[in-house]
Structure 1
Amino acid sequence: MPEDTPSPSAQFATLLNAQGEAMREFWSQFDTIFDTKSAPQPVQNWNEMSEWADNARHIHAMWLEFIAEKTDNTGIFTSSLDPAQFMLISQGWAKAAPFDAEATQRFAEDSLKLWQSVLGLNATDDAEDSAAELPRKDRRFNDPAWHTHPAYALLHQTYLMLSDYFVSTAEHVEGVDAEKKEQLAFATKALADAMSPDNFLLTNPVVLQRTIESKGENLVRGMRHLIDDLKRGQLTHTDSSAFRLGENIAATPGKVVFETAMYQLIQYTPTTDTVLDVPLVIFPPWINRFYILDLTPKKSFIKWALDQGISVFVVSWKSADASMKDVVWDDYIRSQIEAIDHVRQRLEVPAVHTIGYCVAGTTLAATLAVLARRGEADKVKSATFFTAQVDFEKAGELKSFIDDSQLEMIGQLSPDGYLDGRYLAATFNLLRGRDLIWNYVVNNYLLGEGYPAFDLLHWNGDVTNLPARWHNEYLRDLYRDNKMVVPDALEADGTPIDLTRIETPVYIQAGREDHIAPAESVWRMTRHVKGDAVFLLAGSGHIAGVVNPPAANKYQYWTGNSAAPTLEKFIEGAEEHPGSWWPHWLGWLQEHDATQVPAKGKRIPGKTKKDPVIEDAPGRYVKTR
C-alpha cells in the first residue's frame, strides 16, 4: 500500500466520522423532518379498538390451530416441506469478503450524498420532485409513501446503497476461484433481496397504511395465506382453483395412444383436412408439466401447430416416486427413442420432426448422438431446441448450486429416491427472488391481497418430482463437469455420446433474457453439431421467449449468421423482427419436407375401433402429484 494511502482502519474511521456528522445534522432537524403530529393514528375509538382486538385474536387462533395440526404425538413440529431443509442448499455461501479500500471510499461518498438528498426532501412538497432527487431508484419503492416521508426515504435509500456496496464487494472479491466468486455474489444478492425493508410490516409504509385502514384485516387474510402455504410447503402465486386440467388449461383435444412407466404419449386431433406427412414429436422437460406448451387456447403452441397442419405428439412425463429411484439419464434417452419409434410405426412414416425443451432438449441432443452412432440418424428429419443447453461452461446462476457440498446436501433431501419438486421450484424462484418470492410475500402475507388467475403462474406452481439418482448425475456430469461436449466422455444405453456426429438439421432457439438457460450457453450448441444449424434469438426469457403466439403481437426475435464465431458477432449482424418467431420456425420446418397427406386413419387418434386408445388428453400422468 502506498505510504500516502490511509490504512483501512483510518479510512473506516473517516467514514464513521462523516456519517456521524451527517447523522447529527439529521437529528437536529428531527422535529422539522418527522412531523409526528401528522402521523396516522391507528385507533380512534373503542369500537375500532374492538375490531383490532378481534383481528388479533383471529390471527392468534389460526396460528395455534395450525401448530396443533402440525405437531406430532411427541410434541415435535413437522411441516410438509421444512423450509430449513431447503436452506441446507445454501450452506457455505456466507463468507467474509476482504476489505476493499476503493469500495469503502465510494461507500463514504455515497453515504454523504444520500443524507444530503434526504435532508433536502422537505424543500419541496411535490412527491415526484422529491423522488427524482433521490440518488437510487428501484421499482420496489415506487409508491409515493416511500418518498414523501423522509424517514422512509432514508430507510430505502440506505438499504439500496448498502445492497449495492455488498454486492459489488462480493463481485470483486479476490483470492477465490471464479465459481466460488459467482456463488458468493449470488448469495449476497439473495440475502440483500431478503433484507429489503419492503418485506417487513414495520418498515413498509404501504403495508402500515393498509393495516391502519383495514384495522388489521389485511394481516388476518395474510396469515390465512401463510398457513395455507406452510401446509402445502410451497409459495402460492395464483388462484389454483381457477384452472382445471382438460377444461380450461391443457384442453386441446387428443388421446393417450401409448404409455410406459416413464411417460404417456399424447396424439392430438388434427384441425385441418390435410397435414404434413412428417409428424412432430415434442419432448417437454420432465422438471415441469408438459402443458406449458398447451396453456389456454390463445397461448397454446400445440393448438397453433395443429392449426398449421402438423400432426402433433407430446410426451407427458410421469412425476417421480419411490418406484423410480434407480432411473437415470439412459432411461430418458431410451424413452425418447421409444417414442420416436412408436410414432413412426403408428403413422407408417420413416422419420419424425422433434422438439426438445430445456433439459429434454439436452437429452434430445444425446438421443441424436446415440442414433447417429448406431446408424439410425435418419429416424429424425429435424430437431428443434427450445432454450436447451449442451455446453454448460456458461450455464449461469444455476451453477451456484452444484459444488460437491451442495450436491451432497441435495442428496439429503431425497431419502426416498426422488427429489420433491417443491425444492426445485424454490430453487428456480430464488433465481428471480424479487419477482417470484418477495413480491408475493408482500402482496400475499402483508397486504393480504387475493391471488390472480394467471395460467402461467399456475403451471409454474404445478411441480413435478425428479428421480434423485438421475438429478444428481445430471448436475455433476453436465453442469459441474461439462462432460457432454467431450466426445465419448458419457454414454447412454451402452452407446458413447459424441455430439460432433450429429448431422440432423437443427433449429436452436434461445431467449435473450433467459436466466435459466442463458443465451450464450444455448448458442454454444452451434459449436458442437455438424449438421445445418439455424440459431434464433427470441425476446424475453425461458418461458415467455418460447410461449409467444403470433396473435399476441409481443416481443421480437433476431435472425442472422448462425455460423458466426460468437453470440456477440451474431447479434452485431442480426436482423430484428417484430412479434412471434413461431412462423419463422414453421417455414424452416416446411423447407425440410412440405409434403401433405389427408388427415385420416390413425392421423385422427381413436376414431375407429381398430385404433384403441388409453384415455383422453391430457391423461393421468399430468394429474399425478
Structure 2
Amino acid sequence: MRKDGNASPGLDAQWHAALGQLTGGLSPAALATAYMDWWLHLIGSPEKQAELMKRALDRPDADDQTDPRFADPAWRAYPFNVMAQGFLAAQDWWDAATTDVHGVDPKHANIVNFAARQWLDMLSPANYAATNPQVRDRTREERGMNLLRGARYWIEDFNRLLARKPRTSHRYAVGTDLAPTPGDVVMRNKLVELIRYRPTTAKVHPEPILIVPAWIMKFYILDLTAQRSLVAYLRDQGFEVFILSWKNPDASDAELSIQDYIDLGVRAAVQHIKQSGHRKLHAAGYCLGGTLLSIASAAMARDGDDCLASVSLLAAQVDFSEPGELGLFINESQVAFLEDIMATRGYLKADQMAGAFQLLRSNDLIWSRVVRHYLLGERTPDNPLLAWNADATRMPARMHTEYLRQLFLKNDLAKGRFKVDGKAVALSDIRPDIYCVATEQDHVSPWTSVYRLALLTDTDVTFVLTNGGHNGGILSEPGHKGRHFRCGHKSEGDGHVTAPAWFDRHAPQDGSWWPHWAEWLKRHSSAKVKIAAPDVTLDAAPGRYVLG
C-alpha cells in the first residue's frame, strides 16, 4: 500500500515508469504504432517511392544561409559547404518521405516527421567539433582551452543530471531580483496563496485585477524583474492587482483535481476579493491559467454570478482540436503511459514537461546550447528568464490526467461537455467582454488555436496577436525593441472570420500591447476611488509557496 492509502501500482505501471526513465516519458508504443502506419503505407506506394528515388538522385541545392546553424560565412568554404548541403538535402528528403504518404493517419505522419527531425537535428554537422568550422577556428585560437572548458561544463551538467538538480542561476534570487514587486499574501489555503500588490497611485479603479497563472509554472513570470513586470505595470496604471501563487504539489497531493484547482484557486480568490468589499473585478489568466479561468468563468455565468467586469486570456487555449506540435505528445497510448508513471509517485515531474517543450524547439533549446557550452566553451549568461525557467513545478496525478484526457483528448470544454460541480459548462454562457492575446511564434499555444475562442463565445472579443513566443510575446513591456501587435474586435453577432483572413485584414502596430490592454481595462472600469483599507497580511510577497 502507498502512504496515501491507495493500492500500490501494478507490475505494468512499475515497468512503464521504469521505461519512462529511459524515454523521457515518451511512450515507445505510440512511436512504434506511428512508425508502422507510415512504413506499411510507404512500402505499398510505388509512386511515392519513385518520387523519393528521384529526389535522392537529383539532390537540389538547399539554401543553407536561411538555416541559422549554417549562417556563419565559414560554412561557405570547402568541405564544410558540402557537409551543410548534404545535411540539408537529407533533411528535405526525410521531410518529403514522411509527409503526403497516402493513407497514413495524419497524426501518425506528424509524429514520424517530428521524430525524423529530432534524429536529423542530433546528426547535424554543426553539433560536432570535427565538422563545425566555428569550433575548429575557436579551438585554433584558444589552443583547445575551449574544449577543456566544455568538458568541465559537461561534467558539471552530467552530475547535476544524476543528482536531479537542474542548472540554476546564482545571480537572481526570488523576492529580490525576481518577483520584486512589493505586496502581501492576504489569503492562503492548501493549494494557493493570494498576493495583493500595494497600489502606487492615490486612487484606483474600484474593480481590481485577479491574475490566474498556469499551475505548471511559478507565477513570477508575470513579475519577473522590476523592468519586466506585468503586475507592476498594471498596478502603476491605477489598478489594484491580485495574483495566485500555486503550491508546488508532491505525492500527498496526488488526488487534487481540476475541480479542486477551481474551488481552492479561482473561486477562493474571487470570494476573498468580494469579501474585501469589491463588487466587481477583472479576471486575467495566462497559459493554462487562462484555460482554468475560462472554465471558472463559464461556471460562474451558468450559476448567475455576475461579479466579473471582464475576462482576459493570455496565450490560453480553450479548444484543443489544433494544439500544434505539443499535441504529438498527447494520444491514448501516451496518456496511459504517463498515468502509469504518475501512479508510482503521485505527480508528473517538472523535467518531463520541460523535456517535451524543449523537443518542440530542439535546435534552439538543446543543440545550440550543446555547441555553445561544450564545444565553444561558453556558458549561457545568467538571465532572469533562465532562472525562472529552471524553477519548474510538478503536476498532481489526478489533475494532470483530467487535463490530458478531458481537455486534450476529448476536447470537452470546446464541446460543452466539461463539468464543474457535476454540471456541464459552456463558453457561450460567458457574458463579460473578453480580451484575448496570442503570440505569433507560440509553440505551446499556437495562435490559430487560441483564436478559436472567437468561434466558441457569444460576447464581444478583442483579439490581439503580438510577435514573439509563448513567454517573450507576453513579456512585451513598453520600450522593448522590435515589438509589434495586431488587433481586431468581434462584436456579439458578427460573422466568423478565419484565422488567415483575420491576419490579412489587420496590419501590425509598432510597440507593446500592454498599453492597449490597459486602456481596454480602463474603459471597462468605473471611475477611480480612494484606496480601501489594507487587507490582513499573512506574509510579504512573494510568499511561501513560490519557494517550494
TM-score normalised by L of structure 2: 0.89
In structure 2, the partner of 1:24 is: none
1:517 to 429, 440, 445: 445
2:270 to 318, 322, 340: 340
1:598 to 527, 530, 534: 530
| 5+ residue gaps, structure 1 | 1-79, 115-133, 606-610
1:499 to 427, 431, 452: 427
Equivalent AA in structure 2 for residue 386 of structure 1: L
Matched, 1:103 2:52: yes
Comparing 537-546 and 223-232, the one that deviates more: 223-232
Matched, 1:589 2:521: yes
In structure 2, the partner of 1:206 is: 134
Note if contact 1:239-1:451 (Cα within 8 Å) is conserved in structure 2: no
1:84 to 8, 22, 31: 22
Matched, 1:292 2:221: yes
Comparing 381-390 and 509-518, the one that deviates more: 509-518
Distance 1:90 1:272 in 2: 57
Distance 2:137 2:489 in 1: 55
Q: Secondary structure at the match of 1:526?
A: helix
In structure 2, the partner of 1:3 is: none
Note if contact 1:560-1:571 (Cα within 8 Å) is conserved in structure 2: no
Note if contact 2:20-2:341 (Cα within 8 Å) is conserved in structure 1: no
Superposed CA offset, 1:317-353 (max 9, x none): 111101110011111111211111111112x011210
Residue 190 and residue 283 in structure 1: after superposition, are their counterparts in 2 closer, same or farther (change >3 A)?
A: same
Superposed CA offset, 1:587-620 (max 9, x none): 1111122321112412xx5xxxxx3x12111111
Deviation for aligned residue 1:236: 10
Matched, 1:435 2:359: no
Q: Secondary structure at the match of 1:546?
A: coil
Superposed CA offset, 1:567-593 (max 9, x none): 122222213211111111111111122
In structure 1, the partner of 2:155 is: 227
Percent of aligned pairs sharing the same letter: 36
In structure 2, the partner of 1:93 is: 31
In structure 2, the partner of 1:620 is: 544
Matched, 1:473 2:402: yes
Equivalent AA in structure 1 for residue 543 of structure 2: G
Note if contact 2:64-2:84 (Cα within 8 Å) is conserved in structure 1: no
Q: CA RMSD in A?
A: 2.3
Matched, 1:164 2:92: yes
Equivalent AA in structure 1 for residue 127 of structure 2: N
Of the two, which has the highest radius of gyration?
1
Note if contact 1:218-1:448 (Cα within 8 Å) is conserved in structure 2: yes
Note if contact 2:25-2:352 (Cα within 8 Å) is conserved in structure 1: no
Q: Secondary structure at the match of 1:619?
A: coil
In structure 2, the partner of 1:9 is: none
Comparing 244-253 and 561-570, the one that deviates more: 561-570
In structure 1, the partner of 2:212 is: 283
Matched, 1:324 2:243: no
Equivalent AA in structure 2 for residue 580 of structure 1: S
Deviation for aligned residue 1:428: 0.7
In structure 1, the partner of 2:5 is: none
Residue 409 and residue 215 in structure 1: after superposition, are their counterparts in 2 closer, same or farther (change >3 A)?
A: farther
| 5+ residue gaps, structure 2 | 1-17, 43-47
Q: Secondary structure at the match of 2:114?
A: helix
Residue 81 and residue 586 in structure 1: after superposition, are their counterparts in 2 closer, same or farther (change >3 A)?
A: farther
In structure 1, the partner of 2:485 is: 557
Note if contact 1:506-1:531 (Cα within 8 Å) is conserved in structure 2: yes
Distance 2:375 2:22 in 1: 22
In structure 2, the partner of 1:252 is: 181
Q: Secondary structure at the match of 1:282?
A: strand
Deviation for aligned residue 1:364: 0.7
Equivalent AA in structure 2 for residue 105 of structure 1: K
Q: Secondary structure at the match of 2:86?
A: helix
Structure scoring higher RCO (CA < 8 A, sep ≥ 6) equals: 2
Matched, 1:355 2:284: yes
In structure 2, the partner of 1:567 is: 499
In structure 2, the partner of 1:459 is: 388
Deviation for aligned residue 1:401: 0.6
Superposed CA offset, 1:12-45 (max 9, x none): xxxxxxxxxxxxxxxxxxxxxxxxxxxxxxxxxx
Superposed CA offset, 1:514-560 (max 9, x none): 12111111111111122221111112221121110112243111122
2:327 to 376, 394, 399: 399
Deviation for aligned residue 1:239: 6.3
In structure 2, the partner of 1:420 is: 349
Q: Secondary structure at the match of 2:479?
A: helix
Residue 331 and residue 231 in structure 1: after superposition, are their counterparts in 2 closer, same or farther (change >3 A)?
A: farther
Note if contact 2:25-2:338 (Cα within 8 Å) is conserved in structure 1: no
Matched, 1:579 2:517: no
TM-score normalised by L of structure 1: 0.78
Note if contact 1:136-1:157 (Cα within 8 Å) is conserved in structure 2: no
Q: Secondary structure at the match of 2:24?
A: helix
Distance 1:230 1:345 in 2: 51
Distance 2:469 2:246 in 1: 23
Q: Secondary structure at the match of 2:256?
A: coil
Distance 2:425 2:350 in 1: 28
